């Protein structure tokens, strides 16, 4: 049996099931009782205000409290309303939570799940539209997960809450209304395993989170033109399934990385560099990167549209390497 759920509903199911399963799990963040994105609203009726805990607008304070609670034996889910507000809590995330196990000489772990909304794409403006996943991969100690659909959102969030390490779980609001069949039985999706969304032989597109829909649309167009595209979603940035990415790159010899983020020192850069370094002999063309433009997200819709990803940008990158054939 299965049921259909949106990305938002899937996230809610994961939180609900984990609260039900484990008394140590609790949720805190700004407005979590109201649940303005629809993920957490209503949970307070079932679990009460102690476990569905509204916080002040105090990111550094309550993220730090999440760490203390984790050290003391709880399993906190800490919600930061928008990922662009994680900067308020940056010390706690990268200097405290990420380093707790390491600095303590393995005495304690910091099993905190930090959830945050990314990729608004709705004229939210420069301070509410960031996709800072790469920042957290640059600071060793955090796991970083960016699900691209409802089934992954649920299965990966359940894994995050049970993980003994801290997890940054970035929920793409651009995907909020996407729907998918979910199994009724419990499903835990492990981190660090690529999801091959479609198999192909001519070209690999790597994309995760909100980069998947434009990548899939470009793949559809190419497929109609007779190009066999492999679409690979790594799902988690830390741990990264390098073996899965390299296997696809070596098979097709042509790779485009699509990343809904700014380009410098991005996931796209890291993936392109590593594929270049470890799959050089099999590559028939340079690895191309498709990202947002290197600016904050502007407010006015035509400008916002101009700098964000779209299928045409992905198509252009794919076509630019499809006809290349390296001669050595």
Partner 1 sequence: MSTQVETPLLVSQYETIKRIRAFEDKSISLFQDGIVPGFTHAYCGQEAVAVGVCSALEPGDRVGSNHRGHGHILARGADSSKMLAEILGKRDGYLQGMGGELHIMDASINILGANGIVGAGIPIAVGAALSDRLQGNDNVTVSFFGEGATSEGYFSEAVNLAAIWDLPVVFICENNLYGEFTPASEVVAGEIYKRAEGFGIPGVRVDGQDVVAVNEATRTAVERARGGEGPTLIEAMTYRWYGHFYGEEALTGDYKYRSDEEIADWKTNRDPVKLTRDRILQEGLADEAELDAIDKAIDEEMESASQFAQQSPEPPPEQALDFLYSARIPGPADAAKEL
CB of 170 to partner 1, least distance (A): 18
Torsion of CA 114, 120, 124, 130, to 10 degrees: 60
248 touching partner 1, by CB under 8 A: no
Q: What is the C-alpha to C-alpha distance for residues 216 and 218, in angstroms, rounded to an integer?
A: 5
128 carries an active-site annotation: yes
Kindly identify the residues of this chain, within the stretch 144-203, that bind partner 1 according to CB under 8 A: 163-165, 192
Asked if 224 touches partner 1 (CB under 8 A), the answer is no
Residue among 63, 86, 189, 194 that touches partner 1 (CB under 8 A): 63
Task: Give the Cα separation of 273 and 265 in Å (integer).
Answer: 10
Which range binds partner 1 by CB under 8 A, 39-47, 107-115, 118-126, 197-205? 107-115
Closest alpha carbon to 38 in 5, 13, 8, 82: 8
Q: State the DSSP H helix or E strand holding residue 220, giving kind and residue range, or none if neither.
A: helix 212-224
Nearer to partner 1, 246 or 311 (CB): 246
Q: Which of 19, 44, 52, 69 forms a contact with partner 1 (CB under 8 A)?
A: 69
User: Tokens at residue 173, please?
Assistant: 């609001």
DSSP label at residue 182: E
Instruction: Give the 3-state secondary structure of residue 263.
Output: coil
By CB under 8 A, residue 107 contacts partner 1:
yes
Cis peptide before 239 (omega within 30 of 0): yes
* Dihedral of alpha carbons 296, 301, 306, 312, sign: positive
- Short-list 113, 75, 210, 66, CA closest to 152: 210
Residue with tokens 């050089």: 280
Q: Is 73 in the site for partner 1 (CB under 8 A)?
A: yes
* Residue in 14, 27, 67, 321 binding partner 1, rule: CB under 8 A: 67
Which candidate in 128, 133, 138, 306 is catalytic? Answer: 128
Segment 256 to 315, residues that bind partner 1, using CB under 8 A? 274, 277-278
319 binds partner 1 (CB under 8 A): no
Site for partner 1 contains 35 (CB under 8 A) = no
Applying CB under 8 A, which residues contact partner 1? 23-24, 26, 50-51, 55-56, 58, 60-74, 76, 91-92, 95-96, 100-109, 140-141, 143, 163-165, 192, 238-243, 246-247, 250, 274, 277-278
What positions carry a catalytic annotation?
A: 128
């Amino acid at each position: 049996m299965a049921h259909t759920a949106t990305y938002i509903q899937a996230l809610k199911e994961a939180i609900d099931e984990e609260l039900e399963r484990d008394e140590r799990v609790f949720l805190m963040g700004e407005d979590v009782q109201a649940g303005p994105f629809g993920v957490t609203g209503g949970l307070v009726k079932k679990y009460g205000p102690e476990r569905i805990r509204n916080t002040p607008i105090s990111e550094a304070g309550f993220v730090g409290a999440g760490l203390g609670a984790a050290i003391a034996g709880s399993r906190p889910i800490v919600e930061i309303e928008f990922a662009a507000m994680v900067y308020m809590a940056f010390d706690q995330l990268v200097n405290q939570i990420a380093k707790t196990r390491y600095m303590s000489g393995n005495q304690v772990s910091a099993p905190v799940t930090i959830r945050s909304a990314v990729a608004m794409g709705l004229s939210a403006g420069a301070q509410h539209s960031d996709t800072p996943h790469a920042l957290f991969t640059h600071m060793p100690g955090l796991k970083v997960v960016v699900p691209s659909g409802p089934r992954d959102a649920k299965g990966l969030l359940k894994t995050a809450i049970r993980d003994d390490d801290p997890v940054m779980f970035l929920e793409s609001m651009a995907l909020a209304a996407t729907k998918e069949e979910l199994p009724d039985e419990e499903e835990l999706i492990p981190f660090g395993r690529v999801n091959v969304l479609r198999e192909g032989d001519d070209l690999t597109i790597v994309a995760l989170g909100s980069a998947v829909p434009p990548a899939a649309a470009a793949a559809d167009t190419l497929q109609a033109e007779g190009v066999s595209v492999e679409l690979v979603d790594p799902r988690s940035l830390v741990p990264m399934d390098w073996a899965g990415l390299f296997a696809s790159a070596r098979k097709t010899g042509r790779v485009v990385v699509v990343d809904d983020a700014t380009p410098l020192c991005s996931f796209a850069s890291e993936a392109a560099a590593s594929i270049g370094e470890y799959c050089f002999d099999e590559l028939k063309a340079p690895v191309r990167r498709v990202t947002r433009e290197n600016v904050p997200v502007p407010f006015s819709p035509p400008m916002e549209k101009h700098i964000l990803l779209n299928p045409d940008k992905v198509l252009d990158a794919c076509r630019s390497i499809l006809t290349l054939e390296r001669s050595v």
